[in-house]
Amino acid sequence: MPTEQVSSRDLQKGSAEMLVLALVEEQQRHGYEIAQLIEQRSNGEIRFRVPSLYPLLYRLERRGLVEGRWVEKAGVRRRRFYRITPVGRKALAAQRRGWKSLFEALDRVAAFRHA
Amino acid sequence: MPDWREYVRERLPGLACTPEREAEIVEELAEQLEDIYASALRSGASLTEAQARIHEEIQDWRALARDLQRAEQPALAGPRSVAVHRLEPAIHRFLPGQRLLEILRDARLSIRALIARPLFTLTTVMTLALGIGATAVVFSLVHSVLLSPLPYREPDRLTVVQQVIPEIADRVPILGVNPRSFIAWEKACRTTCENMAALIGSTSTLTGLGEPEGLIGARISPALFEVLGIAPTLGRSFTRDEDAPGRNAVVIVTHGFWQRRLGGDPAVIGRVVTLDSVPVEIAGVLPATFRLPQLAQLSVPNRVDNPLEFFRPLAWSDDLRRSWGEYDNVVIVRRPAGVTPQATEAELTAITRGEYERAEIHPYAVARPLMAAVTADARRPLWLVLGAVAAALLIACVNVAGLLGARWTARQRELAIRTAIGAGRSRLVQLVAVESLLLALAGGAAGLALASVSLRAILATAPASVPRLDEVRLDTTSFVVIAAVTLVCALICTLLPAWRASRVDPGDTLKASALSTTPSGRWTAIRAWLVSGEVALTAMLLVVGGLLVASFINVLRIDRGFTTTSVIAANIELPAARYPDTAARARFFDALLDGLSREPAVAVAGLSRSLPLEGLATVDNFIPVGETQTGMRAVGSHVQVSAGYFAAIGLPLLRGRLLTPDDHSRPVAVISDRTARTLWPGQDALGRNFRRGRGDLFQVVGVVADARIAGFERDPGLVGYVPYGLSTRSGLTLVIRGNAGDSAAIAGARRVVKALDPDLPLRRVRTLDSVVDDALAMRRFQVRLLTAFGAAGLLLACLGIYGVLSAMVEARRAELAIRLALGAPPSLVRRLVIRQALTPVLVGLAIGLAAGVGAARLAASLLFGVAPAHPGVLAAVSGVVLTVAVAACLEPAVRAARTSFVSAMR
């Protein structure tokens, strides 16, 4: 099984992307909200600081996986919200499958779910 | 509450984007910081603590700016440099280093993966090694012989000059230079000649140092070494004074001769040795690296395995200096810088025109660069071989590309998972490229090792007539070129698999691979086209090789007019000092033939001025007596022979009689059939008379068959055989047919010569078979290499066809099984499979045949008696390629027809 050759960098890159895509898939969100949700849902295990988050968001936007737009509401300062695009949805599905098979493979090898 | 926009603006370095976009980014970052700050305060932090949290959030503003900027660029290389929590700073700071580490890690992984599949790795590396090794050897040969400068000072300024006499150019297209012209040039050529030298091949007998030895060397004008830019390592060059009869008892020897016969004695200058029974003083010893330019015009073979060893002054007699004839010398001119050979040619021609104003012939000069003159005959054959080896290498690369493509197809799942978890295209291409490069490097290294080990052995098969063979080595240029070739191979091998890798669709692949790991149909189609390419290159090689084989067969089939089995030849050169005139020389040769006739091991012996295929006869006019025309057009070879010569080489008599021993000093001649038909068309030549030039009158007593005396592929033209006793040359070739084996015949000949003159050596003892071998050596070399490359290509193409077909059968297992289950006969399935495989083969074959004919057109001068589009050769090549292709199909086709429905559906 070749997954042993997967580099931690690929993992980091891929996982970060998937996390963000997964969050904006549910509903449109702004940057601070994304960072907060990641930290909360991972029980503080994963934290996205500004230097990780914004370059990633902008890149996803460039690649057409997410779409950002300014939303103005009376009395509140305007904010930039991000939501997933159809292309982003496809990429996310592919990534989920990839991770799934990776985890299954890891599980078959290391049986970590039952450990 | 701080102004967060101000805060960000102060810290964030400028971004290379529009001001509007930059403002948006600043606004977004500022909001985030404001939220963090506010949230900290809400959770009870002090102002200072909240401030600290902001500092913690963004530590390196420059890195942030860089990453933002990179993220803003159009998406080319996919996601990069996005990091999660802990490792983030390190990754951000050391991107280039990170990349290198990544490549090294990929290399390590690739090596491990390659070692894990030794058969694949070995096949690939050996395929490349053979291709690169063969290319290295042939390139070194071409580079050393044709491309690297000649080992003289400023060699591109050296020119070889010859002469053309338009009056006889239809028969003797080009000649050497006669003394009269050279003397005029030397005196008058000022603007386009810096200096010049004449030389002529010469043989001498060395005595007084043990066994007498025949040497080959040259007589040269004193300026030769200066013209070439060579200085003797010991002693000096010749002086102008020494270039005159009676004052020329000096010799300059090569380093090899000095070592071999003079023991490398450093005090050798001034020592006297005996050459042709005359004491001569050693004036100089040449550098070890010196070799006289290997010019075909030199009248003695100057070959790597038998180099020239001595140089003496030309010392032309007054008769020679005034003669209108004697076009025997090679002239080398050093041109001033910036002067073209054409300019030199024009000036020399102008001088000759003045000199020959009142003569009957009007020669002009022809100049060409020394390099062109030296490499003339080797040029086309060597380029052809280089082209062939390049084609073979390309086949090897295509094959490896196919193998690698298949390998990466099998690794689709891995690539898909990598893509799914975020590896960009460049990352995958890098992975593939690293592996291909590793394989190519291993192949290149193994190839170079192979080349350096086998260079000498391979060169040993090269014909000795190729000039500069001793200079051939794997030098720096060869290494650089081979390194470049290796990289190109790596590139070719990478392109396809990398393209495959970059198009991996994780979804499709993973879905598909959940069921099976078979390659996609498109990939099989691409491999099929690769097979087309291989077949095309192979067919091209085979066509050219086949045409050369056909030429070779044609050359072998030429009616030579003589026989070679158990015929031995040896040269005898009588020194002028002891054999000063015709009478003395004739006495010696008469006695020699007499002695040989009593030798039991000698069946028949004869003498000749020149040996068949070696073409060193006197060329002069045949002037039929009684005809009014000058006879200028009837030029041909006049060969002095003894009576036994015809029997010795088995030249059949057609009419009249052969020469007898009684004829040796009578003015009678035997002429070739062609000569008889040319001089007296429609009439009987017997009893007729002809003159040789303006001189002797001969009566024709017999007509013999035409023999290829000038070379296999050269029209022999007119040939007359006249008795050697009329004006006996000092040098004749002894031809013996033995009846008790070659060595017994040679021993007998040596015994007889020794009894007559103990100081006389037998020179260049050789069998006539070896003369024939030499004449065929270049052709044999080409045929061997081209057929070898063609066969290798065929093998690789066969493997390629097998591979692609196996993959195809594998991919269509389910379909084939259904067909079989529905009642399709196995023979139909077999035909189906074979037809699919043969389509790319037929396409490749058609392209290859056309390309082969095209290549053969370019090399038409190397063909003999076959047209480039020779139907027999094309049919044979098609037959061979198709047979091999069908053979490669058989196993997969049979396997396809046996597909089990159950196992295919499982």
Query: CB distance A13–B31 less than 8 Å?
Result: no
CA B783, B789, B792, B797 dihedral sign is negative
Query: CB distance B24–A80 less than 8 Å?
Result: yes
3-state secondary structure at position B161: strand
CB pairs under 8 A between A and B: 160
> Residue B311 has what pLDDT?
94
Mutate to test the interface with B, among A4, A11, A12, A77 (most CBs of B within 10 A): A12
The pLDDT-based confidence of B896 (bands split at 50, 70, 90) is confident
The pLDDT-based confidence of B514 (bands split at 50, 70, 90) is very low
Using H for helix, E for strand and C for coil, what is the string for B783-799? HHHHHHHHHHHHHHHHH
- Across B701-729, average pLDDT: 82
- Comparing C-alpha atoms, which of B381, B394, B383 is closest to residue B131? B394
Query: CB distance A56–B82 less than 8 Å?
Result: yes
Tell me the chain A residues in contact with residue B57 when contact means C-beta distances shorter than 8 Å: 49-50
- Across B703-724, average pLDDT: 82
Tell me the chain A residues in contact with residue B510 when contact means C-beta distances shorter than 8 Å: 97-98, 101
> Residue B504 has what pLDDT?
62
Q: Report domain extents, chain A.
A: 9-108
Q: How much of chain B exceeds pLDDT 70, in percent?
A: 90
The CATH-assigned architecture of domain A9-108 is Orthogonal Bundle (1.10)
Mutate to test the interface with B, among A4, A8, A9 (most CBs of B within 10 A): A9
> Residue B875 has what pLDDT?
94
Query: CB distance A62–B67 less than 8 Å?
Result: no
Residue B208 has pLDDT above 90, yes or no: no
Residue B758 has pLDDT above 80, yes or no: yes
Q: Which residue of A lies nearest to B32 if distances are taken between CA atoms?
A: A32
Query: CB distance A59–B79 less than 8 Å?
Result: yes
d(CA A45, CA B230): 82
Specify burial of residue B721 (Cβ count, 10 A radius: 0-12, 13-18, 19+). buried
Tell me the chain B residues in contact with residue A46 when contact means C-beta distances shorter than 8 Å: 84-85
> Residue B510 has what pLDDT?
56
Average pLDDT over chain B reads 83
- Across B97-117, average pLDDT: 80
> Residue B422 has what pLDDT?
65
- Across B783-799, average pLDDT: 82
- Across B78-91, average pLDDT: 38
Query: CB distance B82–A5 less than 8 Å?
Result: no
Backbone angles phi, psi at B315, to 5 degrees: 45, 60
Residue B629 has pLDDT above 60, yes or no: no
Instruction: Judge whether B314 and B183 are in contact, CB under 8 Å.
Output: no
Average pLDDT over chain A reads 81
Nearest to B421 among A10, A51, A79 (CB): A10
Helix axes B476-502, B425-460, angle to 10 degrees: 150
Which amino acid does the sequence have at B822? Answer: L
> Residue B186 has what pLDDT?
92
Tell me the chain B residues in contact with residue A18 when contact means C-beta distances shorter than 8 Å: 422
> Residue B904 has what pLDDT?
65
Nearest to A32 among B32, B79, B84 (CB): B32
Nearest to B417 among A3, A30, A48 (CB): A3
Tell me the chain B residues in contact with residue A10 when contact means C-beta distances shorter than 8 Å: 418, 421-423, 427
Nearest to B418 among A10, A48, A59 (CB): A10
CA B294, B296, B297, B301 dihedral sign is positive
The model's pLDDT over A9-26, given as tens digits with 9 standing for 90+, comes to 555 667 888 889 999 998
The model's pLDDT over B160-203, given as tens digits with 9 standing for 90+, comes to 999 998 877 766 778 889 899 999 999 999 889 999 999 998 88
Q: Which residue of B lies nearest to A39 if distances are taken between CA atoms?
A: B85
Residue B94 has pLDDT above 70, yes or no: no
Using H for helix, E for strand and C for coil, what is the string for chain A? CHHHHCCHHHHHHHHHHHHHHHHHHHCCEEHHHHHHHHHHHCCCCCCCCHHHHHHHHHHHHHCCCEEEEEEEECCEEEEEEEEECHHHHHHHHHHHHHHHHHHHHHHHHHCCCCC
> Residue B630 has what pLDDT?
47
Does the reported pTM lie above 0.80? no
> Residue B88 has what pLDDT?
39
- Comparing C-alpha atoms, which of B252, B238, B226 is closest to residue B153? B226
> Residue B15 has what pLDDT?
80
Which residue bears the tokens 């037809």? B835
> Residue B788 has what pLDDT?
83
Nearest to A62 among B57, B74, B419 (CB): B74
Query: CB distance B63–A55 less than 8 Å?
Result: no
Q: Which residues of B702-714 are buried (b: 16+ CB within 10 A; e: fewer)?
A: bbbbbbbbbebee
3-state secondary structure at position B362: coil
Nearest to A14 among B74, B413, B422 (CB): B422
Q: How far is CA B391 from CA B386, B851, B855, B873, B895, in A?
A: 9, 12, 12, 19, 33
Query: CB distance A7–B105 less than 8 Å?
Result: yes
Query: CB distance A2–B67 less than 8 Å?
Result: no
Query: CB distance A12–B87 less than 8 Å?
Result: yes
Residue B563 has pLDDT above 90, yes or no: no
Name A87's bridge partners: none
Contacts of A8 (CB under 8 A, 6+ apart): B87
3-state secondary structure at position B541: helix
- Across B496-512, average pLDDT: 64
List the structure tokens of A110.
């290391």
Query: CB distance A16–B109 less than 8 Å?
Result: no
Query: CB distance B32–A35 less than 8 Å?
Result: yes
Distance from CA of B529 to the nearest CA of A (A): 29
Tell me the chain A residues in contact with residue B73 when contact means C-beta distances shorter than 8 Å: 62
- Across B467-488, average pLDDT: 84
> Residue A114 has what pLDDT?
54
Query: CB distance A31–B28 less than 8 Å?
Result: yes
The model's pLDDT over B310-351, given as tens digits with 9 standing for 90+, comes to 999 999 988 888 888 788 899 999 999 999 999 999 999 999
List the structure tokens of B96.
């280039």
Query: CB distance A54–B417 less than 8 Å?
Result: no
Q: How much of chain B exceeds pLDDT 90, in percent?
A: 24
> Residue B730 has what pLDDT?
80
Name B251's bridge partners: B282
Residue B435 has pLDDT above 90, yes or no: no
Query: CB distance B82–A52 less than 8 Å?
Result: yes
d(CA B813, CA B809): 6
Nearest to B67 among A30, A51, A102 (CB): A51
Distance from CA of B446 to the nearest CA of A (A): 28
List the structure tokens of A7.
């580099």
d(CA B389, CA B138): 7
Specify burial of residue B761 (Cβ count, 10 A radius: 0-12, 13-18, 19+). buried
Distance from CA of B28 to the nearest CA of A (A): 7
Query: CB distance A14–B420 less than 8 Å?
Result: yes
In the 8-state DSSP scheme, what is residue B264?
Answer: T
Q: What is the ipTM of this complex?
A: 0.86
Backbone angles phi, psi at A105, to 5 degrees: -65, -45
Mutate to test the interface with A, among B84, B95, B425 (most CBs of A within 10 A): B84
d(CA B134, CA B451): 7
Nearest to B70 among A31, A55, A57 (CB): A55
3-state secondary structure at position B864: coil
Residue B390 has pLDDT above 80, yes or no: yes
Query: CB distance A54–B28 less than 8 Å?
Result: yes
Query: CB distance A102–B417 less than 8 Å?
Result: yes
Tell me the chain B residues in contact with residue A40 when contact means C-beta distances shorter than 8 Å: none
> Residue B505 has what pLDDT?
62
Nearest to A55 among B82, B417, B506 (CB): B82
d(CA B510, CA B506): 6
Query: CB distance A55–B32 less than 8 Å?
Result: no
Residue B649 has pLDDT above 80, yes or no: yes
- Across B525-535, average pLDDT: 82
The model's pLDDT over B253-275, given as tens digits with 9 standing for 90+, comes to 999 999 988 899 999 999 999 98
List the structure tokens of B483.
């390194």
Nearest to A13 among B82, B85, B505 (CB): B82
The model's pLDDT over B798-826, given as tens digits with 9 standing for 90+, comes to 887 787 777 777 777 777 888 888 888 88
List the structure tokens of B753.
């010569």
> Residue B97 has what pLDDT?
59
Instruction: Judge whether B417 and A6 are in contact, CB under 8 Å.
Output: yes
Name B697's bridge partners: B691
